[in-house]
Amino acid sequence: MLRRQLLQYSVVCRLQDANRAVLEERERSQRNDQQLSDYEAEIGLLRRRLETLETDRDKDKKTIAQLQDALNRARVVCMSHIFKHILSLTNSYASVVVNYNVTPRISRCQQGYVT
Protein backbone atom coordinates (compact mmCIF):
# COMPACT_ATOMS: atom_id res chain seq x y z
CA MET A 1 0.00 0.00 0.00
CA LEU A 2 2.82 2.37 0.85
CA ARG A 3 4.50 1.38 -2.32
CA ARG A 4 1.33 2.07 -4.23
CA GLN A 5 0.98 5.50 -2.61
CA LEU A 6 4.60 6.31 -3.45
CA LEU A 7 4.03 5.20 -7.00
CA GLN A 8 0.88 7.33 -7.25
CA TYR A 9 2.74 10.29 -5.70
CA SER A 10 5.57 9.83 -8.17
CA VAL A 11 3.12 9.68 -11.08
CA VAL A 12 1.28 12.76 -9.79
CA CYS A 13 4.57 14.65 -9.43
CA ARG A 14 5.61 13.72 -12.96
CA LEU A 15 2.18 14.68 -14.23
CA GLN A 16 2.43 18.06 -12.48
CA ASP A 17 5.95 18.57 -13.90
CA ALA A 18 4.66 17.66 -17.36
CA ASN A 19 1.73 20.06 -16.96
CA ARG A 20 4.09 22.86 -15.90
CA ALA A 21 6.35 22.11 -18.84
CA VAL A 22 3.34 22.20 -21.19
CA LEU A 23 2.22 25.54 -19.73
CA GLU A 24 5.72 26.98 -20.06
CA GLU A 25 5.92 25.80 -23.66
CA ARG A 26 2.49 27.32 -24.40
CA GLU A 27 3.58 30.63 -22.90
CA ARG A 28 6.84 30.56 -24.84
CA SER A 29 4.93 29.62 -27.99
CA GLN A 30 2.50 32.51 -27.42
CA ARG A 31 5.39 34.93 -26.87
CA ASN A 32 7.06 33.64 -30.02
CA ASP A 33 3.79 33.96 -31.94
CA GLN A 34 3.38 37.53 -30.68
CA GLN A 35 6.97 38.38 -31.56
CA LEU A 36 6.52 36.85 -35.01
CA SER A 37 3.33 38.84 -35.47
CA ASP A 38 5.13 42.03 -34.42
CA TYR A 39 7.95 41.31 -36.88
CA GLU A 40 5.46 40.66 -39.69
CA ALA A 41 3.69 43.93 -38.93
CA GLU A 42 7.02 45.78 -38.96
CA ILE A 43 7.95 44.14 -42.26
CA GLY A 44 4.61 45.28 -43.69
CA LEU A 45 5.26 48.84 -42.54
CA LEU A 46 8.76 48.78 -43.99
CA ARG A 47 7.47 47.46 -47.32
CA ARG A 48 4.89 50.26 -47.51
CA ARG A 49 7.55 52.81 -46.59
CA LEU A 50 9.87 51.42 -49.25
CA GLU A 51 7.09 51.57 -51.81
CA THR A 52 6.43 55.20 -50.89
CA LEU A 53 10.13 56.05 -51.15
CA GLU A 54 10.41 54.36 -54.53
CA THR A 55 7.37 56.28 -55.78
CA ASP A 56 8.87 59.53 -54.49
CA ARG A 57 12.20 58.67 -56.13
CA ASP A 58 10.48 58.05 -59.48
CA LYS A 59 8.65 61.38 -59.21
CA ASP A 60 11.92 63.13 -58.31
CA LYS A 61 13.65 61.55 -61.32
CA LYS A 62 10.90 62.84 -63.61
CA THR A 63 11.10 66.29 -62.06
CA ILE A 64 14.88 66.37 -62.40
CA ALA A 65 14.64 65.33 -66.06
CA GLN A 66 12.06 68.07 -66.71
CA LEU A 67 14.22 70.66 -64.97
CA GLN A 68 17.29 69.58 -66.92
CA ASP A 69 15.35 69.89 -70.18
CA ALA A 70 14.11 73.33 -69.19
CA LEU A 71 17.65 74.38 -68.22
CA ASN A 72 19.04 73.15 -71.53
CA ARG A 73 16.33 75.07 -73.44
CA ALA A 74 17.12 78.19 -71.41
CA ARG A 75 20.82 77.78 -72.21
CA VAL A 76 20.05 77.55 -75.92
CA VAL A 77 17.91 80.69 -75.75
CA CYS A 78 20.57 82.57 -73.78
CA MET A 79 23.35 81.53 -76.15
CA SER A 80 21.19 82.56 -79.11
CA HIS A 81 20.65 86.02 -77.57
CA ILE A 82 24.35 86.33 -76.76
CA PHE A 83 25.39 85.42 -80.31
CA LYS A 84 22.81 87.83 -81.77
CA HIS A 85 24.14 90.58 -79.51
CA ILE A 86 27.76 89.80 -80.47
CA LEU A 87 26.81 89.79 -84.16
CA SER A 88 25.00 93.11 -83.73
CA LEU A 89 28.00 94.64 -81.99
CA THR A 90 30.35 93.27 -84.64
CA ASN A 91 28.18 94.73 -87.39
CA SER A 92 27.99 98.07 -85.60
CA TYR A 93 31.76 98.11 -85.17
CA ALA A 94 32.29 97.25 -88.83
CA SER A 95 29.84 99.96 -89.81
CA VAL A 96 31.72 102.55 -87.75
CA VAL A 97 35.05 101.47 -89.25
CA VAL A 98 33.68 101.65 -92.82
CA ASN A 99 31.56 104.81 -92.48
CA TYR A 100 34.05 106.90 -90.58
CA ASN A 101 37.20 105.51 -92.09
CA VAL A 102 38.51 104.60 -88.64
CA THR A 103 41.55 102.42 -88.34
CA PRO A 104 41.10 100.02 -85.49
CA ARG A 105 43.72 100.32 -82.80
CA ILE A 106 45.07 97.21 -81.20
CA SER A 107 45.49 97.40 -77.46
CA ARG A 108 48.51 95.96 -75.69
CA CYS A 109 46.57 92.97 -74.42
CA GLN A 110 45.29 92.24 -77.95
CA GLN A 111 48.76 92.52 -79.46
CA GLY A 112 49.72 89.19 -77.97
CA TYR A 113 46.92 87.52 -79.93
CA VAL A 114 47.62 89.17 -83.28
CA THR A 115 50.11 87.36 -85.49
For the stretch 17-47, pLDDT in tens is: 999 999 999 999 999 999 999 999 999 999 9
**Total-model pTM:** 0.55
Average pLDDT, the chain: 87
Q: Residue 106 domain-assigned?
A: no
Contacts of 103 (CB under 8 A, 6+ apart): 97
Q: Residue 107 domain-assigned?
A: no
Q: Residue 34 domain-assigned?
A: yes
Q: Residue 74 domain-assigned?
A: yes
Q: Is 61 exposed, middle or buried (0-12, 13-18, 19+ CB in 10 A)?
A: exposed
Q: Residue 112 domain-assigned?
A: no
Contact by Cβ (8 Å): 97, 104: yes
**CA gap 112, 30 in Å, rounded:** 89
Task: Quickly state the pLDDT bin for 106 (edges 50, 70, 90).
Answer: low
Q: Domain range spanning residue 79?
A: 2-101
Q: Calculate mean pLDDT across residues 6-10.
A: 75
**What's the number of domains the chain is made of?**
1
